[in-house]
Amino acid sequence: MDWKSASTKDGKVSIPDTWLFLHYYEALNILFRMENSLRVFVYVVLKNRFKEKWAETTPQTAEGEQSTITATAARRITQAKGFGYLGYEIASPLMYLNSGELIQIICSETYWSLFKPFFRGKKEIIKNKLDEIGSVRNALAHFRPLKHDDVELIKQNVKHAFLGIEQCLEEMTQTHRVVPTNTEEQWYKNLITLGSSRCTINLFQDRAEQWLRIEIDYQCALLAPPYPGDYRSFHVTKLISPAVIKSFPKIARHCTFMSENVPFVTVTKDNTPEFRKEISVVFGKTAIIEHHTEISDEIGNVLLQIETETELVEKDALARGKLIDSTRVSASLHKGPENQWWSARTESLRCEFGQDDPSEYWGETDVFVSDFIAESTRYPWMPSDISKDISF
């Protein structure tokens, strides 16, 4: 068998004539993004309602059984480990539920009241549209032929059924508006006073003011002076993002998710790169209003532990804390006619997904993508990109 491969030349992809028609790939792209967005949406609604017990929800599985999300995922994870050499290891239990089971949760008598505000139509109509998408999804999954009309149907149904879902996910991930400094609510007064010598706290919200993002900006400590030269290796401290969720259950209980970001390297007056890391904890505004004292106290504890462990690692570069570790980052100096700048390889400052990482940890998210459903380069709980980054 001659399995011909696609090729790329000058940014253009050439597909062999013997490959499937393009509408099959279009269907796959839509269904892949739709199902993963549906997973995120279901998680967000359940997490904000049931807190740490969100995964005790009991949908009817594809096998016709009543089982909690946790139990269903555990069974399927065990099955997947039998072929552990294939694909990626995924920790989140939502990744082991298919679209049919997600729809069953949404439209069940038990949970429909939670999801109803996000749909612009009667339950029966919404369920029918989602089931039609599921029918096309199953045809593709089982390698039955598709019509062009099938692709147009899923486009239209997603557009109709996902209007409220799209708004929810975009508002939650587009929390870029600075909370005004003249905000008088007590939750703001509690949170804005937080900070430490190495961490700055910034508060952001979405346009509708339904979501609050607490950003912790950590300045990495330089553990040893680098050798001089235009190419240098720096030994610095590293903030272990998922450990914040693991070590501080009160934050994990009330937050919806946490993400991380490694900003561009800045340069100090003595022309030394300054390495930083940001972690963002996103809360529903209701959780902040009702539990701001508990959340504020717990973030204060996080900052204190970060400071303490950074000092420990500064004194002993071979030591390690729960939140702070050390790593090496390389940087190159570029010299222009009028200025100079550093470019750095900061991959080692990032935290890849681990098998025991909680579902609240989302890793890096597409903060510059306005169309979460159709344009994300990766979705929560995924250890790799699924498409090109078109943000820049």
Domain residue ranges in the chain: 17-173, 177-369
Q: Which residues contact 195 (CB under 8 A, 6 or more apart)?
A: 201, 303
Q: Which of 211, 206, 176, 172 lies closest to 373, judged by CA?
A: 172
386: left (phi over 0), alpha (psi -120 to 50) or beta: alpha
Q: Which residues contact 273 (CB under 8 A, 6 or more apart)?
A: 234, 265, 266, 267, 331, 342, 344
Q: Which of 253, 282, 258, 294 lies closest to 50, judged by CA?
A: 253
The pLDDT assigned to 85 comes to 87
Beta carbons of 300 and 188 less than 8 angstroms apart: no
Beta carbons of 324 and 302 less than 8 angstroms apart: no
Q: How far, in Å, CA of 127 to CA of 37, rounded?
A: 16
How many other β-carbons are positioned within 10 Å of the β-carbon of residue 263? 12
Buried residues in 362-373 as b, exposed as e (16+ CB within 10 A):
bbbbbeebeebb
The pLDDT assigned to 371 comes to 87
State which amino acid sits at residue 321: G
| Structure token digits, residue 234 | 């720096």
The pLDDT assigned to 387 comes to 87
Beta carbons of 125 and 98 less than 8 angstroms apart: no
- CA distances to 141, 235, 270, 317, 348 from 225, rounded to whole Å, are 55, 8, 12, 13, 19
The pLDDT assigned to 223 comes to 92
Consecutive 10-residue runs of the chain (392 residues): their mean pLDDT? 87 88 95 96 97 86 75 89 85 90 92 95 95 96 95 96 95 94 95 96 96 97 83 91 96 96 75 86 96 97 98 93 94 80 85 86 77 90 84 54
353: left (phi over 0), alpha (psi -120 to 50) or beta: beta
